[in-house]
Structure 1
Amino acid sequence: MEKNFSEQDSLKLINEMISQARNNFQKGRSNSSIFCGYVVAATAFANFILIYTMEDPNRSFWIWLTMIPMMIVSGIISRKHQRQSTVRTHIDKIVSSIWNAFAISIGILLISIYGTAYAVNSSYLGVLITPVILTMMGSAQYATSVACRFKPYLYGALIFWGGALACVGCYLLREFSIQFIVLGVCAILGLSIYTGTYCK
């Protein structure tokens, strides 16, 4: 029977896998993306406000510890969806691997930047965090959009890449705190609005 499996059958199977993966992604990952988008945006806007209201602006960055419970809740949402999915394809596994790699890379990035900053006794490396994370987020969204043929994430990738360039513009103007406004806007547009609009 396997010998009768034609090229057309192969293409049909691949398309069915992509369709199933996109359906799973739209029903499950969208909730996690919307949640993360709004939490990141709220944290970024709060950080911007705290920089100008706290006696020691450097302490304002501790607010990013909210990312830890956010990741835990996001993981719970994703696992709940995985248990409810009746069919998980190879493409589902690829998409999960993309985002697992993104999370691991973010962790390594932060350790590398803070470790290096401590070693050379300089905080200037911290300006790299926001544009690099935006660039990596754009890359993860682009890979997901290609794997699932999911256009909203392609638009989201462009938003995040544009945000990374906007951060560089802020640095050139010596307006370092504006990067948090850029990050918040990108999080809402790239994760929450596009995903929420197209995944209902």
Structure 2
Amino acid sequence: MEPLEFHSGKVCPLNRANVDTDQIIPKQFLKRIERTGFGQFLFFHWRFNDDGTERSDFVLNDPDYKGSSILVAGDNFGCGSSREHAPWALADYGFKVIIAPDFADIFYNNALKNGILVIKMDEQQVKSWMQKAVDGLTLDVDLKQQTIQASDGTITSFDITPYQREKLINGWDDIALTLLKEEKIAAYESAN
């Protein structure tokens, strides 16, 4: 997992509430076990017509939002099943930060474990950023300071647990955390 201390990126507004993991990554694309290659299937049924052509009415297909790395979404993002493929698809597509009023608990934790900074933010602030994204909005997210600075100069703070903050800043997934204790594990194994 790559360290994430600071990220500056263009905002893509997904003005939908209750986006579930089946919508994020449909079930027919879950046959792979690698964590990569899922971005092409992100929001598949919303992004593509039945014949495979892009739907012009979906935000990710709008040229103004190409290259966006911050997704600002509606309430209860990531509800539904517990599939870890959802954060894999979002990360593979290029999203580093997701901001919403609330997240489903399992999705929230899966996203953090996969290096995506998920930020719970006041609904009015989320709506404001969605509106400003129409004219082009960049956010500077400083995880160390726990602040977000918008391209208009406004600064907003956010909360994250110290544990999750440290993991993201250092790029530690669960395996990396275990390897930090490798000497103690080896000492225990040799003693027993």
Calculate the TM-score normalised by the size of structure 1.
0.27
Q: Which structure's residues are more often strand, by fraction?
A: 2
Q: Which structure's residues are more often helix, by fraction?
A: 1
Higher relative contact order (CA 8 A, sep 6+): 1
Pair member with larger Rg: 1
Calculate the TM-score normalised by the size of structure 2.
0.28
